[in-house]
Amino acid sequence: MPKRGRGRPIIESITASQQRLLIAIESHIEHEGKSPTLRELALRLEQGVASIYKLIQRLERNGYLSRTVGKSRGLVVLRSSTEPTTAGMVSIPLLGTVAAGLPIFAPENHLGELMVDAATVRSGRHFALKVSGESMIDAGIAPGDVLIVRQQPLAEHRDIVVALLNEDATVKRLFHRGGEIALLPENPRFKKIPIGPEDDLRILGKVIAVRHTACQEPPVHELA
C-alpha cells in the first residue's frame, strides 16, 4: 500500500449527477430501510445501469459511499449529500472485511476512500475498516460501522485494536497483564481468545474512532 502520511486531501467536489444519485440512495434507504439495487436506481433516475455504476464508483472514490462486492443491496452512505464541502477533510483507504488468508491491505480488500476530519488523523498513517459481526457491540461497535484505525505495531492494555491472529484479522480489546495475553470481545455471547506461545499475533493498528453508518448522517465518536 502506498505511503499516505496522514491522508490525501480530496479536492474534487461532487457533481450534480453524483448528488442526484446520492440523494436517491439516501431516500430509498430512509423509506425502504435497505439500500437500492443498481437496477432500481437506474429506473428511478432513468439512466442505464452502466452509467449508475460509474457514478457509484466515483462516489466511492470521493468517500461518499462504500459498496460490498457481491451484494445487490450493499451500498452504505458514508457522507450525506447535505454535508458541507471537503475543506479540512482528508481521505484514508477504506478496507472491507477480510477473508481467511487474504492480507488486510491486499488490493482486493480496498473498497475505496473514506473522508475524515483532518483533526481526527493528526499524525501517522491511518486506514478505515468496515465492521462485520457483533463481537464488539457493547463497545458501541455494530455491524456495518466503519472504524478509523491508526497504524501501529504496538498497543497498550485495554486498547481496541485491529489484530492479525494466525493470518486472520479481527477487532478486539487487547488484554496484556501478568504475562497473560488475550483478545477480548465486548459481547457476553463471545469468548475471549487466549494467546499462546504458538500463536502468531500482530497488531495492525489501534481503533481511534467509530463512524456509525446505520444513521442517515453517520456521527463519529472518538476512542482516543
Residues belonging to the active site: 135, 172
Residue where the block lists cell 481503533: 207
- Return the C-alpha cell found at 195: 494467546
**Contacts for 39 with CB less than 8 Å, ≥ 6 apart:** 49
In 45-159, DSSP assigns E strands to: 65-67, 75-77, 89-95, 110-117, 126-130, 146-151
How far apart are alpha carbons 211 and 120 in whole angstroms?
Answer: 12
**Contacts for 189 with CB less than 8 Å, ≥ 6 apart:** 134
Residue where the block lists cell 440512495: 25
**Single-letter residue type at 205:** G
How far apart are alpha carbons 102 and 104 in whole angstroms?
Answer: 6
Alpha helices in the chain (DSSP H): 16-32, 38-45, 49-61
Decide if 177 contacts 153 (C-beta within 8 A). Answer: no
How far apart are alpha carbons 209 and 115 in whole angstroms?
Answer: 13
For residue 61, give the DSSP letter: H
